[in-house]
Amino acid sequence: MKLLNQFRTFYRQCIWLSIIVVGISSCKMEEIAALESVKNIQGSWQITKATRNGTDITNKFDFTLFRVIFNDDGSYQIQNSLPFIVSTNGSYALDDPQYPFHIQFTETESERAVGSGFDYPIVGEGRILTLTFSAGCSSNMYSYMLEKTNNP
């Protein structure tokens, strides 16, 4: 009987030791390279939602024809202008290629550089681009939500 108890104790100790060994080995740190992708905004974008000082004005004004086209050479074009960060064509730059929070537009004609808040979340199957800026008085804030479009 005593021998049986000793065997049981030894058996339990073996099981606990195995669990600890397996546990320690499974806790081994492995470095996984998870590089954030470079944000690529090239393409033609159209406005799908617009707010003015927090009020949705999407259906009050015709935003449908406006396009901003970002090219891979760092240039952009505006089509069917409306109150926006810039009104003529030029170049653009993000403050960080992987984690951008700001976009800067520089008009070719005037060399005027204007910045905007930049948000680029994944929504549904693609990304949306949200730009926040003032077009007239600095106290009036506009936020345009844009989606890539295949219709130029």
Interface residue list for another protein (CB under 8 A): 52-55, 57, 60-61, 82-83, 135-140, 142
The tokens describing 124, both together, are: 């549904």
What is the separation of C-alpha 107 from the centre of its chain, rounded to a whole number of angstroms? 24
Q: Which is nearer to another protein, 89 or 93 (CB)?
A: 89
Nearest-angstrom CA–CA distance, 150 and 32: 36
Nearest distance in Å: CB 138, another protein = 7
Return the number of the residue (54 or 126) whose C-beta is nearest another protein: 54
Alpha-carbon distance of 114 to 30, in angstroms, equals 44
Q: How far is the CB of 111 from another protein (least distance, A)?
A: 15
Judged by CB, which is closer to another protein: 7, or 61?
A: 61
- Using the minimum distance from each CB to another protein, give the nearer residue, 128 or 135: 135
Which residues contact residue 114 at a Cβ distance below 8 angstroms, ignoring those fewer than 6 apart?
A: 85, 86, 104, 105, 106, 107, 133
Q: Find the shortest distance in angstroms from Cβ 83 to another protein.
A: 5
Least gap, CB of 139 to another protein (angstroms): 6
Q: How far is the CB of 36 from another protein (least distance, A)?
A: 21
Q: Cβ closer to another protein: 43 or 83? A: 83
Contacts 24+ apart (CB under 8 A), 96-104: 97/38, 97/39, 98/35, 98/36, 98/37, 98/38, 98/39, 99/36, 100/39, 103/131
